[in-house]
Amino acid sequence: MMGRDIGQIIAEARSLVKQQCVCDAESKYLSAISELEKNKDSVNGSRELWTTRAEYLWFRSQFLTNGESLEKSRQRKLESIRLLWKSAGLRGRFESELRAKAKDLVKMTILAVGCIIREDESHVHIECPIRIRSVGAGQFGFSIACFFEKATCSICGRDVVKDVECAHIPGEQYDGKQCHTKPENLRIDHVALTTNPKDPKTGFTALSIPKNEFYSNFSEDQIRRKSKFGLPLVCSLCMKEEIDPTEISVEKFFQMQGLELE
Amino acid sequence: MISKTLSLQALCAQESITISPAVVAANNVVIVPKRIDGKDRLNSDFIPLIKQIRLKAGTSYIAKRDGEVGYYDFRGGEYELPLFILKDVLLPILLGILANRIDKMLFEYQESKKEDPDNKHLHEPEIKARWYITETQEYFELQGPASEASVSIKAYLKERSRKS
């Protein structure tokens, strides 16, 4: 079969996906993959095989997961994201498209099955910025408040404000050297947690909460089922509150669940 | 921007400080630090601005209630300047430097917002500035977001130059 024919099959599969004819679409994809496997040893053939497989997996995770258990569905979705990511890593001309598809699938997975909350023996570890914000801590950043007695001029060594002999302005250049102030006798007064922090880049990026404390947010039935079947603790905040989780990147999605992306 | 007429004595009472009329007469600018934690302190964010004013003014003086004047590096939500008691001729210089500084802070804020639009901790700077003109005994207070403060200062300077 010629490359053009395979392209035609894929185009038909896409068209069937649009028409929601998922079974027909699946057989078209499988037929294209089986043809591409014959040329997998060439560079282009291998690339086309990978990208078509990734597209197929993306399609499957979107349309063919009905009737599966939540955990099976999660595993399938995670595997699809991994494969899409790996395919994108081959740096073919579809790289950005595949990365966008992986990101899209991450969003869909969060909204469909939630995210696993990482646990160890004694604590749960929350690294999701959305969840952190929701528990309040994420609204705060840090402001360090300090006092100092002298602001020494880096050019002449005098106090830059109080000593009238100093004629330098901090931030200005003098003979190629920039003037800046050096605080002396500095004392940190306090560190404030505030919603309007002096340094906006500060804040909580991870929370570790004792398990017992965290489990009290869930019903007894949920906890019992979790221990009985060895299920992970799942955060469904975005599903419940209809939050758009676009800010969660593919890497962050795996990292915050303690899962390997590659 | 609010303004009111106030005698120097009343101003000193308001600030819990003693400044002799002779000191005010001898200096083009008198800088009154903020009282924090039982000590007079200047805001470290405005060190370059205070320095520029001192250099432009020719004669200047940093008033103190007791002890040495120190510095502080925190805001409590806003950037507060010390109170400036100054001769009328120096007001356009002070306000020009202040407007410049505020515009720079605004630019930095807008750039940070562009770089990190989802950062919930980024807020427009809030400014608090006060000054007193010795000849007219007028006391001014400006408090609000940097963008509004900048507009108010520029409008005030424009109006002032139109009158003169």
Q: Give pLDDT, residue A97.
A: 85
Contacts of B62 in chain A (CB under 8 A): 161-162
- Give the residue-averaged pLDDT of B110-134: 91
Flag if B120 and A133 touch (Cβ within 8 Å): yes
pLDDT value at residue A68: 60
For residues A110 and B121, what is the distance between their CA atoms, to the nearest angstrom? 25
Residue A3 banded pLDDT, cuts 50, 70, 90: low
Question: pLDDT digits over B7-32, tens only?
Answer: 999 999 999 999 999 999 999 999 99
In chain A, the residue whose alpha carbon lies closest to the alpha carbon of B61 is A162
CA nearest to B36 within chain A? A147
ipTM of predicted assembly, 2 dp? 0.89
Give the mean model confidence (pLDDT) for residues B104-110: 94
Who's near B37: CB < 8 A, 6+ residues apart?
A147, A189
Q: Give the global pTM.
A: 0.69
Amino acid at B43: N
pLDDT for the residue A73: 80
pLDDT of residue A67 exceeding 80: no
Contact between chains at B71 and A144 (C-beta distance less than 8 A): no
A113 interfacial to chain B (CB closer than 8 Å): no
Per-residue confidence band for A199, with pLDDT thresholds at 50, 70 and 90 = confident
**Min distance A106 CA to chain B CA atoms (Å):** 19
pLDDT bucket at B120, cuts 50 / 70 / 90: confident
Whether residue A2 has pLDDT greater than 60? no
The secondary structure of chain A, three-state, reads: CCHHHHHHHHHHHHHHHHCCCHHHHHHHHHHHHHHHHHHCCCHHHHHHHHHHHHHHHHHHHHHCCCCCCHHHHHHHHHHHHHHHHHHHCCCCCCHHHHHHHHHHHHHHHHHHHCEEEEECCCEEEECCHHHHHHCCHHHCEEEEEEEECEEEECCCCCECCCCCCCCCCCCCEECCEECCEEEECCEEEEEEEECCCCCCCCCCCCEEEEHHHHHCCCCHHHHHHHHHHCCCEEECHHHHHCCCCCCCCHHHHHHHCCCCCC
Q: How confident is the model at residue A238 (pLDDT cuts 50, 70, 90)?
A: very high
Closest chain B residue to A149, measured at CA: B70
Please write the tens of the pLDDT for every residue from A206-222.
999 898 888 887 788 87
- pLDDT greater than 90 at residue A112: no
| pLDDT band (50, 70, 90) for residue B70 | very high
In this model, does residue A76 exceed pLDDT 60?
Answer: yes
Mean pLDDT (chain B, rounded)? 93
What pLDDT does residue B74 have? 82
pLDDT at res. A66:
56
Backbone φ, ψ for residue B87 (5° rounding): -75, 145
Predicted confidence band of residue A225 (pLDDT cuts 50, 70, 90): confident
Judged by average pLDDT, the poorest of A39-53, A243-257, B140-154 is: A39-53
Mean pLDDT of chain A: 86
| Nearest C-alpha in B relative to A247 | B118
CA B41, CA B34: separation in Å to the nearest integer? Answer: 5
Q: Does B54 touch chain A (CB under 8 A)?
A: yes
CB contact under 8 A, A183 and B71: yes
Supply the pLDDT for residue A173: 95
Candidates A139, A196, A200; nearest CB to B77? A196
pLDDT in tens, A129-147: 899 888 877 788 888 899 9
Which residue shows structure tokens 């409008």? Answer: B155
Listed by number, the residues of chain A in 117-156 with a beta carbon closer than 8 Å to a beta carbon of chain B are: 133, 139, 141, 143-151
From chain A, pick out residues whose CB is under 8 angstroms from the CB of B73.
144-148, 183
Whether the per-residue pLDDT at B164 is higher than 80: the answer is no
Overall average pLDDT of the A166-188 stretch: 94
Percentage of the residues of chain B whose pLDDT score is greater than 70: 98
Chain A contact set for B70 (CB, 8 A): 147-150
Give whichever of A86-90, A155-159, A242-246 has the largest mean pLDDT: A155-159
Residues in B closer than 8 angstroms to A162, CB to CB, are 62, 69
Task: Report pLDDT for A7.
Answer: 87
Closest residue on chain B to A170 (Cα): B48
**Which one of B52, B70, B75 has the shortest CB-CB distance to A148?**
B70
- Measured CA to CA, the distance from residue A132 to residue A134 in angstroms comes to 5
Instruction: Kindly determine whether residue B70 and residue A147, on different chains, have CB atoms separated by under 8 Å.
Output: yes
Residue-level length of chain B: 164
Q: Does B118 touch chain A (CB under 8 A)?
A: yes
Question: Counting every residue, how long is chain A?
Answer: 262
Does residue A251 surpass a pLDDT of 80? Answer: yes
Output the pLDDT for position A178: 95
Q: Which of A3-12, A87-96, B135-144 has the highest mean pLDDT?
A: B135-144
| Residue A220 and residue A39 in contact, taking contact as beta carbons nearer than 8 Å | no
